[in-house]
A and B are shown apart, each in its own frame.
Chain A
Amino acid sequence: MQTRLTINGTPHDLDADARTSLLDALRNHLDLTGTKKGCDHGQCGACTVIVNGRRINACLTLACMHDGDEITTIEGLGQPGNLSPLQAAFVKHDGFQCGYCTPGQICSATAMLQEVKDGWPSHVSGNLTGAMDLTDAEIGERMSGNLCRCAAYPNIVDAIRDAAEVKA
């Protein structure tokens, strides 16, 4: 199937099997292996990418459903020597160990910070409307779709808090 995907600002014409997930399209067809496969079932978040501004699990969606979509992967957020504030904060706070869940964590956090800015409440938010504080509990709750078996969670929370403060 022919699908046009704009990935990190660059258009790609993909010719792949209709069964190809967005994740496998990135990894197997477009050589963008920064996005990871941890479960292929929407249970771990390792494959998180940003599609039209929203974070999604790339393993749970077919590539051919994204004709014309704008996709941001970890490769688009920053490169060695040119890290995004979140990427730099993850390095500084050791927000990872093996690094396998990390691209997903960072893509997820990037979109999550925007969700908070846009006033989207979470399960632990005190109010459903209005500005919200980025407490540790908010970060933990909103990042719980991204598993980390190395369990860098406290450092991930520190990194996200730090990057958000620098931005603000």
Chain B
Amino acid sequence: MNTHTKMDAHHVMDAPDHRNRLDDMAQGILGTTMDRPDGPLKVTGTATYAHEDHPAGMLHGVLVRATVPRGTLDGTHDAAVLALPGVRRVLHGDRFLRNPAQGTANEAPVQGSREIFYVGQPVALVVAETFEQARHGAQRLVLQMTPGDAVTDPTADDIAVERDPDEQSSMGDLDKAMKDAAFSVDQTYTTPGHTSAAMEPHAAVAWWDGDKLTIRASAQMLKYNKNEIADSLGIDVRDVHMLAPYVGGGFGGKLGISPEAVAAALAARDLGAPVSVAMTRRQVSEATMRRSETVQQIRLAADADGVLTGIGHVARVSQLEDEDYAEPVTQATPFLYRGKNREIGLELVRVNATCAGSVRAPGEAVGLTALEIAMDELAVAAGIDPVELRRRNIPEVDPSDDKPFSSHTLEAALDDGAKAFGWDGRKTKTTDGDWLVGSGMSSAVRVNMIGESHARVTLNPDGTLLIETDMTDVGTGTYAILTQIAGEMLGVTPDRITTVLGDSDLPESAGSGGSWGASSAGSSVFLACERIRQEIAKTLDCDEGDLTLKDGIATAANRQVPLAQVLGDAPLTSTGVIEPGKTSEAVRQATFGAFFAEVGVHRVTGEVRVRRMHGSFAAGRILNAKTARSQCLGGMTFGIGMALTEAMIFDPRDGRLVNGDFGEYHIPVNADVPQLTVNFVHERDPWANPMQAKGIGELGICGAGACVLNAIHDACGVRVRDLPATLDRILDGLPEV
């Protein structure tokens, strides 16, 4: 609901904002390590996630999965299951979601339970009075399926390849550059599928009041999600009320609605009672989103000084039929390094497997990781220090279109990181007992953007502050940073601020995804607060710029007035709206960083241990130093997982996901992760938004795996080009014991 009043503040980001207004504020909480306001709820188990806060009379639904990769569901033996104690309904039909909606889809994905496209597709729901009864019914439901022809091996020689013209680009003559190069690399790198694996499985609780649907969901982007729900059910979006006050992790896996949410809503309508549906861990792995596996051909040509003269990066990814999304592997390649001769391309093949979609940092997470291994190979070939090689290849402008950078911090991050890690005195090609020890590094880069976002800020006569938006906090720290932005702007201490999120009836935000949440939602809060400051200034008869607000006191022209007195009896409310504008296109916006790692490779077993790892990052103004650091720790750990253990394994014979749980898909555990260190490099990016802040949620994974793999090479000489670096890929190359 976005009603416009004269108190609204609408800003289109058409020009850089050099004012650095937040630097002028007096409260002193923005950018600090303030604890999360939601922390006490989370550590006591009182924060309510999707499958909590159960309404009275709630029934339980359990999804049933298809067991063939392609074909039709001809029938289900419902009667036998309906006869079981407690079972109330068996549902299937045209409105079932085949797979989740892609991020920002804003409409239903492919629907219908009759046609089967992959193993694990949810094709039925069994609803019963208790979870145990529903689970039993779901296990007992017999599906009559006619198998069809499936494509289950994305590497098959005869597979059809699609090439979207927008994703292919060519400049100069790369073949010639490769021929003329003093040093070159020409290698193929592969990354397997990855799953977001948020700890909270996708779940929904739905109930109807007449035509009105309320749904508690685990969702990242309510503005889009409510439309996806409405479209899936064929109802008016005004009849959809979504709640997601706490979300147990997203990492891209909850960008769009997924099958359990629509199944719960259908069942609740059918039965006239609240229905909950939670996916099992295996269902999350099979029936939400995977990051596509990639095959990446990388060519680097360099002159005698290691300066790149050419870059080739052609990637192949896979996807389910009737889905457009293709993992944007080469997204950062065009602007990261020098080299005027280029071949960049993206190829797509169709498979009958779990839908491919966003997993933390789509594109750079895997694309940059491969590119940064290739850069390490070039450094070795040229005999140039890998940090120095990158320094020499930082372009003045975006080489693909000669656009200026909004701000360029790669060199600063490289310098800061090298110093913090002690790169010059690093352990290289050495031993420690049975461990071969070495060090590696890689660059980090991620594109930066904002999305349209609205937030309402209310300053109450008693001096308390209310912030409202449908934005989510998926662990990212939204509750903290919005509190800090508003408190800083209006001089209110955090204990007097309430931030309400995750309710689709509140002003629409960009949502959490693509690292744009903090910048977008934060800017809308900033704008609303700026408008309120103007109103206060007017009352005090001063310029907004001369107004100081701190601890509930307004100071202007040597006058000190408690805010409560300024306000009188009426609250001041403003809705702030930020919209992306010309600054998105006028300049190349990106965040940069650098990773450094020291690893040990066991000389007998080939086991790899990360002994130390450091990241230095620049992401504009840091809004909360504690939560921003945590985001980086999370990204870097995803990088460790990508380098060493994480791989979705699909059986090429029948497309079945072999390792759909934590017993088999290995995410890093505590003992796998050393005490990582993180530095932030000072930056204010005026082109990004009025806060000069940039996204930080994904930068920490972009290229992180490469520093670990490059360290493995330094330690033991084994160059792993097929991720992850499991023992079998290291053992053969180890030196004789």
Contact = CB atoms under 8 A, between A and B. Distances in A.
Interface of A: 16-17, 19-20, 24, 27-28, 31-41, 43-44, 46, 73-75, 77-81, 83, 87-88, 90-92, 94, 96-103, 106, 124, 136-137, 139-141, 143-158
Given A46-B199, A74-B45, A90-B43, A149 B675 contact: no
A155 B630 contact: yes
B220 to A, nearest CB: 11
Given A28-B130, A39-B662, A98-B474, A92 B35 contact: yes
B44 A151 contact: no
Contacts of A99: 38, 41-43, 47, 246, 248, 475
A150 B201 contact: no
B532 to A, nearest CB: 29
B233 interface: no
Contact of A98 (B45, B60, B249, B281): B249
A146 B49 CA distance: 19
A134 B399 CA distance: 52
A111 B440 CA distance: 38
A91 B38 CA distance: 9
A36 B199 contact: yes
Given A28-B130, A44-B662, A80-B40, A100 B54 contact: no
Contacts of A73: 45
Given A36-B200, A43-B662, A150 B630 contact: yes
Ranked 6 nearest A-B pairs via Cβ: A34-B45, A99-B42, A100-B248, A98-B475, A97-B475, A151-B637
A123 B280 CA distance: 31
B581 interface: no
A140 B633 CA distance: 15
Contacts of B556: none
Given A97-B634, A144-B670, A149 B198 contact: yes
Given A87-B44, A143-B671, A152-B630, 8 more contacts: A28-B60, A38-B281, A75-B44, A78-B43, A91-B39, A141-B671, A149-B634, A150-B249
Given A94-B36, A151-B634, A43 B200 contact: no
Among B278, B477, B663, the most chain A Cβ lie within 10 Å of the Cβ of: B663
B43 A83 contact: yes
Contacts of A41: 281, 661-663
B421 interface: no
Contacts of A36: 45, 49, 199-200, 248
Given A151-B634, A155-B633, A91 B45 contact: no
Contacts of B633: 151-155
Contact of A40 (B280, B638, B668): B280
B587 interface: no
Contacts of B631: 97
Contact of B199 (A35, A75, A106, A149): A149
Contacts of B674: 154
B626 interface: yes
A26 to B, nearest CB: 10
Contacts of B247: 98
B637 A33 contact: no
B310 to A, nearest CB: 37
Nearest to B280: A40
Given A43-B661, A74-B44, A155-B630, A17 B673 contact: no
A103 B661 contact: no
Interface in B652-704: 661-663, 667-676
Given A75-B44, A80-B40, A154 B673 contact: yes
Contact of B45 (A88, A103, A139, A147): A103
A140 B673 contact: yes
28 contacts: A17-B133, A20-B130, A24-B132, A28-B131, A33-B49, A34-B45, A35-B45, A36-B200, A43-B281, A73-B45, A77-B44, A79-B46, A87-B40, A87-B43, A94-B627, A97-B476, A97-B477, A100-B248, A137-B671, A149-B196, A149-B667, A150-B475, A150-B634, A151-B637, A151-B668, A152-B633, A153-B669, A154-B676
B197 interface: yes
A119 B661 CA distance: 33
Contact of A154 (B35, B49, B626, B675): B675
A44 B670 CA distance: 12
Contacts of A90: 39, 43
B189 interface: no
A100 B249 contact: yes
B402 interface: no
A38 B44 CA distance: 17
Nearest to B629: A94
B76 interface: no
Among B53, B633, B667, B671, the most chain A Cβ lie within 10 Å of the Cβ of: B671
Nearest to B136: A19
Nearest to A148: B199
Nearest to B35: A91
A147 B280 CA distance: 16
Nearest to B360: A149
B669 A97 contact: no
Interface in B178-201: 196-201
Nearest to A107: B45
Contacts of B44: 34, 74-75, 77-80, 83, 87, 103
A147 B667 contact: yes
Contacts of A35: 45
B477 A153 contact: no
A34 B42 CA distance: 9
Contacts of B673: 140, 151, 153-154
Contacts of B72: none
Contact of A96 (B43, B131, B196): B43
A83 B35 CA distance: 14
Nearest to A157: B675
A152 B635 CA distance: 10
B637 A153 contact: yes
B584 interface: no
A103 B52 CA distance: 14
A149 B667 CA distance: 7
A94 B630 contact: yes
Nearest to B675: A154
Nearest to B198: A149
Contacts of B199: 36, 38, 44, 46, 98, 100-101, 147-150
Contacts of B246: 98-99
B469 to A, nearest CB: 19
Contacts of A43: 281, 661-663
A151 B638 contact: yes
Contacts of B132: 17, 19-20, 24
Given A98-B474, A100-B249, A39 B637 contact: no
Contacts of A103: 43-45
B48 interface: yes
Interface in B366-381: none
Contacts of A17: 130, 132-133
Given A38-B281, A143-B670, A149 B36 contact: no
Contacts of B335: none
Nearest to A124: B671
B630 A38 contact: no
B626 A94 contact: yes
B664 to A, nearest CB: 9
A95 to B, nearest CB: 8
